[in-house]
Each structure stands twice: as structure tokens, then as C-alpha cells.
A and B are shown apart, each in its own frame.
Chain A
Amino acid sequence: MNAIYGVYAEPASAQRAVEGLRAAGLPETSLLVLSAEPWGEYEFGAYRRHSRMPWLAACGGFLGGVVGFALVAGTQQSWPLRTGGMPIVTLWSAGIITYEMTMLGAILATVLTLFVSSRLWPARQPRLTDPALADGFIVVGASEPPDHLRAEIERRLREAGSEGIKTVPGSAC
């Protein structure tokens, strides 16, 4: 992936850089912002779109609950052995395992959605990284910038006070 980006020490300068890029007509999708910590209180760091994670968690939980109850009731019915004068399938003792499986389902759904939505899986290399990130700098830039805007972007970035403009060679990503 080829990208051009600037490194900013202050969140305010990073905000300016982003507004500059937007002003330069950079499409939102190719705007690139990276930071070593969440800057939610600034517009550039905030991410407005609501995530469907809570609903997915709820569905995962429900599914887990159903699987749990099916497992308990199904296995007890498959070979009904009476114990302690209790009925074969009761909500009292099946309820606990259903509850546990519900929570397990919810947890797994949450983590799964996180991994899928953030495209995180083992051994995946980040598309772009820079040692400066570790020292608290914020990276702002454009990924796959349209060629005609490349010079404009570089100017805007430097104007916003970047410590240095770096480009990533045009490897197809």
C-alpha cells in the first residue's frame, strides 16, 4: 500500500492536518490516522458510526443460551436416568448451564465482532507502522492518494506542522 503521512506531536496539529487534507478533497476512505492511544475527545480521533457489537453480543448470548439448554435437555432425554427423585429435565438445574452458555455466547460474540471488524487475527502485519507512534506521536496521512493530489497533500501536511513527511513505496496492498 502506498501512503504519504506526517507525524504530529500535538493532537491539535494532527486535527489541523486532518482538516487540511479534507479541505484538499481527500476522500474520507483514504484518510489515514494512527495513534498509540485513543484521542476520542478530538474530532480526528472520534469514530461516530454506531457499532452493531452490542446487538451481535446479544444474539451470540441468545444463541449460546439455546445451545446450552439444548445440550442439557437433549442429553438428559437421550438416556433418561432418574436421580434424587428429580424430574429428568428441570429448569432449576438446566437453568444454570443455560445461563453460563448464554454469557459464554455473548463474550465470544463480542470478541469475534471486535476481531472481525478490526481485522485482527494472529500474525497479521499492520498495513503501516512507524517507530514514532511508540513515542506518542500521531500519524496523519493519506493511503492510496490520487496522484493529482499527492503534492497538495504533502503541502497540507507540512503546513500543519509535521515533524517529517514520509512516504511508503507504492507496494500494491
Chain B
Amino acid sequence: MDRRDFIKLSALTAGAAGLAGCGHPDHQLIRFLPEESWIPGVATWRPSLCPLCAAGCGVMARVMEGDAEVVRNGRTGLLRMGLVKKLEGNPAHPVNRGKLCARGQAAVQIVYHPDRIRQPLKRRGERGTGEFEPVDWDEALSTLAARLKQVLDDDPAGLAWLSRPLRGGKRVLVERFLATLAAPAPVYFELFDESVLRWANRLSFGREQMPTYTLSVANYVLGLSADFLGTWNSPVAQAIGYGEFRQGRPGRRGKFVQVEPRVSQTGANADEWIPIRPGTEGALALGLAHVLLNEARRPTTAAGTAGERIEGWLQGLPEWTPEAVAEQTGIEAERIRRLARELIAHEPAVVIAGGAALAQTNGLATALAVNALNALLGCVGALGPVRFTPQPESTGLAPPHRTLRALVQKILSRPESPVKLLLLYEANPVFATPPAWQVAAALDRVPFVVSFGSFLDDTSILADLVLPDHVFLESWMDDVPESGTEPAVVSLAAPAMRPLHNTRAMPDVLLDLSRRVGGRLNEALPWKSYEELLRARFDALARRAGADADAFWKQALERGGWWSDNGGTRAAAPRHAAATTRQIRYQPAEMDGSVEEFPFHFLPYASQAFYDGTTAHLPWLQELPDVLTTAMWGSWVELNPQTAERLGIRQGDLVDVTSRHGTLQAPVILSTGIAPDVVAMPVGQGHRAFTRYASRRGANPISVLAPLEEPETGALAWAATRVQIRRAGVGRLVLFSGGLSRFPHPEER
């Protein structure tokens, strides 16, 4: 006799039976006819691409059947459809070989974000108030087509395109769309777009692209402020290489030295961490080169054209003695000599400069110095740690920051803006530009702004018409990774799932527009959909590779793209640039703000969770504890404990960070890994409007940056601002760890 019988015997009262009646009839939503048939509970894997940074990792999306609440011609109901549950690296893809970074893993939340724009919106209230009213696609597209025709009739120069740097099919489509309309070239903008390093590589090695650091063949890595294991260049490829660099080769463990003003997530892994005064990394590179050229008797010609670019290189860099460099950088001369000796002793060694090092007014000179140093060490080339991924198409870009400022000047130059119609796609310049650039003011002046964004962020909130794009898992994607692999790669991915909301892919909208506008646009863009455009590109590739088009396309769809299978041999050797004899003279970095009034160097850095703010709207990343400070859901200012003591500031106090261009407030975190005269802050928070998880949360360091730039490329020197710190009360920190500095159990061997 168990519990059930026991209770049955004693509980057969009328009351219980009476209650039986008041159950509730099951009322449910109607259920739509599913389009695809799914085996319930069994997962399928479909290739896709991660859209979150320039590395362009290949992704495998795990798709399982589930019930989604969708709206179909006016009725809401449940639709049994394939839903992406998780993203994992595509094991076959040469860039990330089955791995992903933290942001890549969190990208799946973009698809199901509660604040995603579900159908086209038309601005109703004042611009920037964020009041929109839903409108259907036909009306939206017809108004846009009408505007476009009107602009084309008046003056095609009135059309402007602003987006993040595009690659592959999208770039071809957009550039051909604008070219046929005789409109100005597209303006690309990205905060951390490393155009300085591309230009330096063009000057040093004739290749205007980011280098591929294959750490697995390196024996010694000297990092100069480059966060190459966190967010810089192709972090996943570099992290895979780092794993082998350390423990992948039995008996051979590489040494890694990091030189930077603040211990970054990458610097934390260094065997030796050396502080340096911000902006002087180039001087250190030249000092090392000096030691190699003079004391180690390395011939100046060994560096080839990379060396010739540096003024004084052929004479052996006489004025860059370790003592002179020590005075500039703050690193003892003897240590510089030792580093130089180690560079030679641990062949092949590689020097990686990036991030804040190149975000100075002398960024180009620094990059050239490092390129020359690498060339001198002989580590640049098909077999060395520094390689260049062969690019099927030209990768040259007009320097983004300069073209954006030119566009803004153009708009603000005349009282009535010459730009009549602005198309915005996946770019948030209002958030990611210094106030002095006045991008918001310029956008206000443009009569009609159209945004293709899936979310209302700081920039798309100013739009008049929002045509929500499919999210990356719902659309056809292709990409040509610039770095991170040896073989040439053209990634390709079909949509992993059907669109969840009433959205359309941006390329398809452009093609639809070109049909509505008709005329020569129609002939220039013959494809009916973006899939056709990609198919055409891949057919061309198949012809070049001499393979059957259909099989080639099918295999590319299955594998997640095309890459030349013959592995590393094909890595392109550096071409020798035209022998222009222009030389660059290394100048000390120019900082904005006087030392007396603004005693601290301000160092915004790309954090693992937010990179440049584009992923701040994902709850997983907001709640991801920053690895060094364990802070979540907000922003903070890192300060040296001794400096804090001197200023009477305690952990968690609110401080005013003031520069010549603005001020912000954020709580302080004391960190023993930052120089006394440097103040650091993560980029990514402080959005005025960016979905429920990121709106009005934390402070935006870019809002206090000075508009200094690297003269030759016009790139923003975002690490060249000086600030003043003043205590402003008690702030609120959300820390995951109550932790202490010391680890109680010595694990070190």
C-alpha cells in the first residue's frame, strides 16, 4: 500500500470531487502550417559566419525544431520552425578551426533579442526622440524609391552611403549600386579599423591588409600594446596559435613579452610584462633595431624596403641608442639590450604592434618601425610568423575615418546640406566618434536618413525610415577574411533559419530598389536576389579554380566557403612596393591637453565583452565578468592604487574624467596593473539608446576623446587624450568577485 492508495482511501470526500470541475479549458494560440519538416529533438548543423568583427570566423549553427510565436498576415500563432540554439566554430574553416571567442558564442542572442525591430518603421515624432510607427514593406520601399529618384534627378552627389567596412559580395553590390548612380563612393567607418597598420604594410611590404600572425611557428613574441589574444586583428586564430606556441610543441615553449602602459587581458599571459609610457612604442622598436643593426652587426639592407621607409635606417639609426630610447619610453637601456639579444637568440621572433600603440599621432611611424624590425628579424614571409593571406580581390580602402570626416564637413559646410539621402548600414558613428567630429549634428541636417539596422542604436534612432535587415543567421552571408589564415579564403553561408520577423536582407532591398528605380541601375545589378549575386561570384571562382560550378557551389555551401586546400604553401610572399623613396621620420606622439591641467593619459580599450560597443546589447555579454576587474553591467575607470591613495579615491568611488573635449562619470576600480599616470576605461557602454540592456548604462569614453588623428591616414588617434580625475561621490560597482589579490595556494612550479 503506497502513498497514492493511502490518500485515495482517506481523501474520497465530496469537496475534492467538487474541485475537479474548476479546471480551466486549455485555450491555445492557433498553430501555423510548418514550412519544413523537422525530426523533433534531433539537431542539425548548418554553416554560417560570425558578423561581429573583421576576423570573419566560420560558424556552425546548431538548429533544432521549436515553436516560435510569429505573425503571419495579421494573425499571431505558433509556427514549428528550425531555431538556432547554439553557435560553434566551423571545424573546417581555416580562420578559427572550430573555435569561437566569447562574442562569437553570444552572437546567437542577436537573433532572439526582444528589442529587435520586427517590421519597417517610419519616424513619427521629432528626429532622435525614437518615436516610430510601423509601416509595411511596400509603402516603405516606395517612399525610399521616390526619394532616391528625386535625389538622382537633382544631383546624384546628394546620395551617401555610410556603413562599416564591407567585404565580398556586399561590397561589390554597394559600390556598383553607387557607381552606376554616379553617387560618391561609400563611406566606411569602424572605430578600431586599423587603417594605420594597413597603410604601413602597404608602404613596407606592398600589401594593404592586416598581417596574419602564425604564432605556432614563432619562438618569441614581443607584443607592443596589441591585445592580440583578446579583440585585436583575428583573436581566435591568434589564440589557437598561442595555445600551440605555449604547449603545442613538446620541448619547445615560446617566450612572450608584452610591453604596454596597462596590463591588458593579453598582457596578463606574458612571461615578462614591461610598462612603457603611452605613445612611445615606436621609439622602443627603433631602439631594438638600433641594437640589432649596430651591436648584432645585422646588415641594414636585410630589412629591404621596410627599412628604407624609416629615415635614418640606412645610417643605422644613430640617434636611437638604448639610452635615448630609455629616456623617451621609461624602459632601462640594459633591458632594451637584453630584449634585443633575446629577439635574436629565440629565432623566429615576431614583434606585434597594434591597438593603442598605433592609435597615436605617430601611429604610422610606429607601425613602419615595427615592420622594419620584423623584416630585419626575417620573420615576414610565407614560412615566418608574419604572413599575408592572399586576397582574391583588391582590399584597398579609402581611409575610413578621413572619408567620414570629409562627409561630415561636406554636410556642415553649407547651411542646406548637399547630402539629401543617407543610407546607414551597421555603423554607429554617433556613438563611436569624438564629439568634435559633430557626426550627430551632420546627421540632423540630412533631410532623409534611412537605416538598415536591426536595432535602434544611437545612430539609427536619428533615421527617418528603418528597413530592418535580416540577422546574420537568417541571411545569405559571404566574407573574404583579410587575415588569420594562410590559404586564401572566401567564406559562404546560406541562411541557417527562416526569418523570425517581417524583415528583409539589405542586399535584397538594394536590388529591389534598383528594380523600382529601373534604368541603367537595373542592368548594372542584374541579380534578382543576393543569392544569385553570390552564386555568380562563386561561379567565377569555380572557373578560376577550374572546377564544375554546381559541385563547387554545393561543396562551398556544405563546408562554409572555399579555401585553397594546399594549406600553407600558398601564403603570399611580400611584394616589393614601388621604389618610391619617401621616408617617414619618427616623431614623438602628440597628446591633447597640457600635462599640468590634464596629468593622466586616457587609455580607452576594447574589452572582451563589448569590443567597440556593437555587442553591448547582448545580456550574456553585459553579465560576462570582465576578466581583469570581474565587473559586469556597467563601465568603470581603472586607476593605480598609489595614485588613487594620493587623490583620496577608494574603490567604487565615482570620479569625473574630464578632457578638453568633454567629461564623464564612472566608478573607479583599483588595479595594480596600470601605470600611475595612466587611466584606462573599456569602450562599449554609455549608449544613449541601444535596447533595454545597454541604454543609458555606464559611460562612453569616446565622448571625451580629442579629435587628434594620424596625419597620413587620417585615422583617429583614440589613445592620445590626456584627462584629469576628480572624485565626485560614491559610485556603484557590480563585481562578480569579492576577491583579493593573493592566491593562497602557490601553484607556481
**In-complex A–B contact (CB below 8 Å):** no
